[in-house]
Amino acid sequence: MNTTLERKVAFVSGGSRGIGAAIARRLAADGASVALTYHGNREAAQALVAQIEADGGRALALQSDAADPAALAAAVDAAAAHFGRIDVLVNNAGVFVGGPIDSFALADFERTVAVNLRAVFVASQAALRHMGDGGRIVNIGSTNALRMPFAGGAVYAMSKAALTGLAKGMARDLGPRGITVNNVLPGPVDTDMNPAHTEFGQSLHGLMALPRHGRPAEIAGMVAWLAGPEADFVTGADLAIDGGFSA
């Protein structure tokens, strides 16, 4: 473990698997106490907590559906009560529902917006009640906010593109407190939601400057940098980490 985030407390939504789990592991390895939420897979969340603790870190798993504003805010409050405060908020929970715009179900539209956008607002408001000056808010967006080269992704792209305006506005609101707000925009990342070995996954490589999927640990590294002291002067930014997908 290093001490970049020693004595800091981080909250990671959707932190039990994939990119979220990698972020939770990295922040803990950098010295932060980490609260992570999970929706349905309690076993995976508890296994991650056990791994972090075995490596000398501190972690807490909390069940929460990011689409439920009351449950999400309650999870943030519970994390703050357990660890004393929130210094770093990582809004990672997300969903992807694809489909042609002329037949896209309203229920799928509403859930996409609820998880990918409204939850960022809700968790940020909740975390700010427990966050002192100099805190960090990091949203996991998507390179599809910049480029959508295949059909069926309009609603997902919209939900991620909206984070740009939210982050820029929040950066202005919170700048006087020294709180930074930034978006990390991953490209294709090898997780169970977007595995590299599938036909669709392989097709994405032809759209990229670096023809491979990213690794969750690579996304976590950028998040850790934004959470740390070297990124004090970075706010309101969209930072692509996408292998040149948007180049």
**Is 38 in the active site?**
no
Contact 109, 120 (CB under 8 A): no
Tokens representing 58 are 């501190």
- SS3 of 8, please? coil
How far apart (Å, rounded) are the C-alpha atoms in residues 95 and 110? 11
In this structure, the number of other CB atoms found within 10 A of the CB of residue 182 comes to 25
Query: Which residue is catalytic, options 11, 38, 83, 156?
Result: 156
| Nearest alpha-carbon partner for 30 in 190, 183, 229, 177 | 229
**Which of these, 96, 88, 117, 75, lies nearest to 26 by C-alpha position?**
88
Catalytic residues: 156
